[in-house]
């Protein structure tokens, strides 16, 4: 037997595992401007750059087909894939879709899935240009690889935040997390009920935020029109606490965000209280919001506020100050990353 010591992946966590696997990778081509460590890879094309990223969704981990409509799943798969391009301040142009398909999936089901994908692509003006299919023993697997193009000077990395920069987000947080909890609750309650009728009335917004997130192209367009160039940016997929720490880690800085400035929708708060969940925890650690978290120079504060499309929730500080959540009574609490986990 092999007695060599082995390490469980859980002891490293997602980001620790990524760091371990990618830290040994050499960069052999001068055209590779950014490989691992940001939302997308950046490839030098001269005056322009190519953005490249991939995202995987696995049945039973990332989605549950017992309540996730296939059209919505196809739509969300594309949005998740291209949001990493948007988070680099670039426009997505093409996607490649690879599927692992189990025997329980019918051709008609795949038609529905692709109908949702095509709907998202139509809205964003992007093309599905190919892909691959293979058999899967453990349910449906969807992998979306997205490409985009931008001027070299327009690309925004996680590493550009500077002290005093304002911290901004594009919409309220925690709604997707509560939408998922609502779906899971109704699944449990109605498990053995004949002709089940889930209680979704009044929570439609939360369901949409989880099942059909929107790409915030309008915000990027508005920033560009206003002449505001973000100094750093990231896709909010793992929760505000985790993703803000990613920016601070890459930028070698700290941050202070203010609890009363974090936007939380009324439906999020109401359902969270009903289910005995702290809505602040949902907003900080829920994940799956797929909003954009970004920083801008302090002198752009007036212009940012004039847009009316984003919330300013704090500012960047020195690295030694840490990443701090300030409560309404002035207490500072160190933010810990607790990535979204079903």
Residue 280 has pLDDT above 60, yes or no: yes
pLDDT of residue 287: 85
Where is average pLDDT lowest: 29-38, 73-82, 106-115, 143-152? 29-38
pLDDT of residue 141: 97
Q: What is the pLDDT of residues 201-231, one digit of tens each?
A: 999 999 999 999 999 999 999 999 999 999 9
Confidence of residue 60 (pLDDT cuts 50, 70, 90): very high
pLDDT of residue 38: 76
Residue 189 has pLDDT above 50, yes or no: yes
Confidence of residue 14 (pLDDT cuts 50, 70, 90): low
Q: Which residues contact 339 (CB under 8 A, 6 or more apart)?
A: 13, 14, 15, 238, 239, 242, 285, 287
Question: What is the set of domains in the chain, with CATH numbers?
Answer: 30-154 (3.30.1330.10), 158-190+202-334 (3.90.650.10)
Confidence of residue 338 (pLDDT cuts 50, 70, 90): low
Strands 254-258 and 323-326: parallel
Residues 298-312, mean pLDDT to the nearest whole number: 95
Share of the chain above pLDDT 70, in %: 94
Distance CA 98, CA 142 (A): 6
Confidence of residue 22 (pLDDT cuts 50, 70, 90): low
N- to C-terminal Cα separation, the chain = 35
Residue 335 has pLDDT above 60, yes or no: yes
pLDDT of residue 15: 64
Residue 341 has pLDDT above 50, yes or no: no
Sign of CA dihedral 331, 334, 337, 342: negative
Of 250, 233, 88, nearest in space to 155 by CA: 88
Structure tokens at 99: 């599927």
State the average pLDDT for the chain: 92
pLDDT of residue 31: 77
Residue 78 has pLDDT above 90, yes or no: yes
Confidence of residue 6 (pLDDT cuts 50, 70, 90): confident
pLDDT of residue 166: 98
Sign of CA dihedral 142, 145, 148, 152: positive
Give all strands (DSSP E) within the chain, no chain letters: 32-34, 41-44, 48-58, 91-101, 127-135, 141-151, 166-169, 232-236, 254-258, 291-296, 311-317, 323-326, 332-334
With a threshold of 0.85, does the pTM exceed it?
A: yes
Structure tokens at 39: 């939302």
Distance CA 304, CA 326 (A): 22
Confidence of residue 10 (pLDDT cuts 50, 70, 90): confident
Q: What is the pLDDT of residues 26-59, one digit of tens each?
A: 677 787 887 777 788 999 998 899 999 999 999 9
Q: Which residues contact 91 (CB under 8 A, 6 or more apart)?
A: 85, 148, 149, 150, 217
């Amino acid at each position: 037997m092999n007695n060599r010591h082995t390490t469980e992946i859980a002891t490293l966590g997602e980001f620790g595992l990524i760091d371990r696997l990618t830290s040994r990778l050499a960069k052999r081509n001068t055209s590779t401007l950014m490989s691992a460590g940001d939302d997308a890879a950046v490839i030098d094309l001269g005056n322009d750059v190519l953005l490249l990223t991939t995202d995987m969704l696995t049945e039973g981990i990332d989605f549950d087909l017992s309540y996730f409509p296939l059209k919505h799943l196809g739509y969300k798969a594309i949005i998740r894939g291209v949001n990493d391009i948007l988070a680099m301040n670039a426009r997505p142009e093409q996607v490649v879709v690879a599927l692992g398909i189990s025997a329980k999936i019918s051709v008609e089901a795949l038609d529905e899935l692709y109908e949702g994908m095509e709907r998202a692509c139509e809205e964003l003006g992007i093309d599905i240009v190919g892909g691959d299919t293979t058999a899967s023993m453990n349910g449906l697997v969807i992998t979306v690889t997205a490409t985009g193009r931008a001027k070299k000077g327009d690309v925004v990395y996680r590493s550009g935040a500077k002290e005093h920069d304002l911290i901004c987000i594009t919409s309220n947080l925690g709604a997707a997390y509560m939408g998922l909890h609502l779906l899971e609750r109704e699944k449990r309650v109605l498990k053995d009920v004949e002709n089940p009728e889930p209680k979704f009335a009044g929570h439609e917004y939360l369901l949409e935020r989880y099942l059909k997130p929107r790409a915030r192209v309008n915000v990027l367009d508005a920033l560009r029109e206003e002449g505001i160039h973000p100094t750093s940016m990231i896709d909010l997929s793992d929760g505000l606490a985790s993703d803000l720490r990613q920016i601070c880690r890459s930028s070698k800085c700290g941050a202070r965000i203010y609890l009363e400035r974090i936007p939380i929708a009324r439906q999020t708060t109401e359902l969270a209280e009903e289910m005995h969940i702290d809505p602040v925890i949902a907003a900080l650690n829920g994940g799956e919001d797929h909003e954009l978290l970004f920083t801008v120079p302090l002198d752009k504060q007036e212009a940012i506020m004039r847009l009316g499309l984003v919330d300013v929730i704090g500012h960047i500080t020195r690295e030694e100050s840490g990443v701090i959540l300030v409560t309404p009574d002035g207490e500072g609490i160190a933010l810990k990353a607790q990535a979204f986990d079903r």
